[in-house]
Amino acid sequence: MDVRALLAVLRKYWLSLVGVTVLGAVLAGVYVAITPPTYTAESQVFLSVQGGQTTNDLVQGSSYATTVARNFALVATTPKVLDGAIKDLNLDTTAQTLAKHITTSIPTNTSIISIDVTDGSAQQAANIAQSVAENLRSAVADLSTVSGTMQTTVVTATIITPAVVPTSATSPKLALTLALGLVLGLAIGVGQAVLRKTLDVSIRTEDDVAEATTHSVLARIPFSTSISKDSLAVVNDPQSPLAEEYRRLRANLSFMDLDSDRTPIYVITSSLAGEGKSITAINLAFSFAEDGIRVLLIDADLRRPMIASYLGMESAAGLTTVLVAKARLADVVQHVGANHLDILPIGAIPPNPVELIASTSVSRLLATAAQEYDVIIVDSAPLVPVVDTTLLSTLTTGTLVVVGAGKVKTPELQEAMESLSRAKATVLGVVLNMVKSKDGAGHGGNYYYYYQPREPATGDEPEMLASDDAAGLPDGTTEDEKKSAEKTPPKPSAIPLELWLSEHQNALAKPPTPPVGGPIPPPSPAAAKTR
């Protein structure tokens, strides 16, 4: 994982990352609050050797004192020293227990013994450190005395640093503990984010698609909360980012079929149900119909047909009726819009979908439709649950796989692609659907809204265009204001699309895009829930 990928992961899981980091700091603060403070007091004892008149004697004595200092440092934690300290301070403990609170050290190449005592009381720590130093001095004198006619003390211990009462606790340290808590929380937060990304095999971005398959992404349809209520984004919201992506998909498919004289037949499918293949098929069909070409949209999902439900059409007769030779294609198609788009609904759902798809009736129907239409779009069943689309894809120009962002996992998409590969079907590409903005939806983001008309300035009245005679200016406008208005570039019009088309029909080479009678009403809530 490179730096850019890591930053993308952290940006995606930033909330949990911040939460874990803050939690680490909070736990560190709680630890400081509930942990009793510990104080450390220090005393130092210097060892020296008596006697010696020459320089050589002094050097040997100093070397001897440095050597025996290690021995007396060990003596400082023995009962010979600690029993005296316990008696002096009247402590309710034993030498073995007290020794756990005492540490001794010797600075390099010195004969100085440092005695550190830790205790929950600052005063008690200082008292014990001082008492241990005094009792060590007595023990040194006792242990280094040479017996003879005259008792001679070879090594002398001197207290050079008396113990003082510490003013601050040595543990826990608030600043250090909080810093460690933050660092540890941040490390755990980054780790959990990377682990979640590693374990999350859902397809969400174009990079995820590239890791799962070699096929390119032809369009990235942004997520929209209103698409389930109004599936006709191309018709009812033609200047939205959603509609622009469907037109981008149409353009990409058109470029793929420039050298062919045959009518292109596109199968729209997905790995699983609920990835938005039916809505994609509907809007793609309307996008082609905008160019004034004859388009046929076939609902060939024999398991869960949705086209008629989304468009509010009758589906009693349709595809299956034609396949069983009970009607002709021209008898059951339903016209939509300005006579550019025809819909072939499902008809009666058959009990044997696989046998019906595998029959020669399907190829005959497609051949007949290819003679009447310029583009044919087939909404088929998902690839993983059933084999219907695998059989159907071999009879068409190519297959377009819709991938719902966050709806399908990598193994499922790979299984779908492998089923098409085994059937030797032509896969045109992938449509990444329902992409949320944080995952990189759309091309250009807010640039789409540059082309949208402005909202009316006041009330329900549309914003007027500036003209040569300054029409629309309020009464009492001065000549200078009129001249300024004349120089002002025209503002985007907020005139509804239907009104604009009716006023410019003579200037258009093609009939208006919106269907006759206004926008098609959105489907019923029951149909929207089955998306």
- Any idea where the domains of the chain sit in the sequence? 3-35+173-199, 39-161, 215-451
- Does 463 or 174 have the greater pLDDT score? 174
Among the listed ranges 36-45, 240-249, 472-481, which one has the minimum average pLDDT value? 472-481
Cβ neighbours of 33 (radius 10 Å): 9
Instruction: Output the pLDDT for position 527.
Output: 42
Instruction: Output the pLDDT for position 54.
Output: 62
| pLDDT greater than 90 at residue 59 | no
| pLDDT greater than 70 at residue 411 | yes
**Homologous superfamily in CATH for domain 215-451:** P-loop containing nucleotide triphosphate hydrolases (3.40.50.300)
- pLDDT class for 257, splitting at 50, 70, 90? confident
Over range 161-167, report the average pLDDT: 92
| pLDDT greater than 70 at residue 266 | yes
| pLDDT greater than 90 at residue 119 | yes
Among residues of the chain, what percentage have pLDDT more than 70? 77
Instruction: Output the pLDDT for position 58.
Output: 63
398-407, 455-464, 513-522: range with highest mean pLDDT = 398-407
**What mean pLDDT is reported for the chain?**
80
Buried b (16+ CB within 10 A) or exposed e, 368-401: ebbeebbbbbbbbbbbbebbbbbbbbebbbbbbb
- pLDDT class for 25, splitting at 50, 70, 90? very high
- pLDDT class for 146, splitting at 50, 70, 90? low
Among the listed ranges 6-10, 85-89, 168-172, 246-250, which one has the minimum average pLDDT value? 6-10
Buried b (16+ CB within 10 A) or exposed e, 121-155: ebebbbbbbbbbbbbbbebbeebbeeeeeeeebbb
CA 315-317-323 angle, to 5 degrees, is 125
Instruction: Output the pLDDT for position 443.
Output: 45
- pLDDT class for 339, splitting at 50, 70, 90? low
- pLDDT class for 515, splitting at 50, 70, 90? very low
Among residues of the chain, what percentage have pLDDT more than 90? 49
Q: Using CA atoms, how far apart are residues 25 and 179, in angstroms rounded to an integer?
A: 7
What is the SS3 assignment for 50-75? CCCCCHHHHHHHHHHHHHHHHHHHHH
Q: Can 39-161 and 215-451 be said to share one CATH topology?
A: no
Q: Using CA atoms, how far apart are residues 298 and 380, in angstroms rounded to an integer?
A: 9
Helix, strand, coil content of the chain in percent (nearest 5): 45, 15, 40
- pLDDT class for 383, splitting at 50, 70, 90? very high
- pLDDT class for 147, splitting at 50, 70, 90? low
CATH number of 39-161: 3.30.70.1130
Statement: the pTM of the whole predicted model exceeds 0.75: no
448-493 pLDDT tens trace = 333 344 444 444 433 333 333 333 444 454 555 445 444 444 433 3
> H or E element: which one contains 311?
helix 307-311
Best CA proximity match to 406, nearest among 210, 213, 205: 205
Phi-psi region of 7 (alpha: psi -120 to 50; beta: other; left: phi over 0): alpha
82-96, 140-154, 438-452: range with highest mean pLDDT = 82-96
Q: Using CA atoms, how far apart are residues 531 and 275, in angstroms rounded to an integer?
A: 8
Judge residue 318's burial from the number of C-beta atoms within 10 Å of its C-beta, 0-12 exposed, 13-18 middle, 19 or more buried. buried
Instruction: Output the pLDDT for position 498.
Output: 47
Instruction: Output the pLDDT for position 451.
Output: 39
Among the listed ranges 21-25, 65-69, 343-347, 408-412, which one has the minimum average pLDDT value? 65-69
Over range 388-414, report the average pLDDT: 92
- pLDDT class for 183, splitting at 50, 70, 90? very high
Task: Evaluate the omega torsion of the peptide bond into residue 172 and state whether it is cis, within 30 degrees of 0.
Answer: yes
Instruction: Output the pLDDT for position 438.
Output: 62
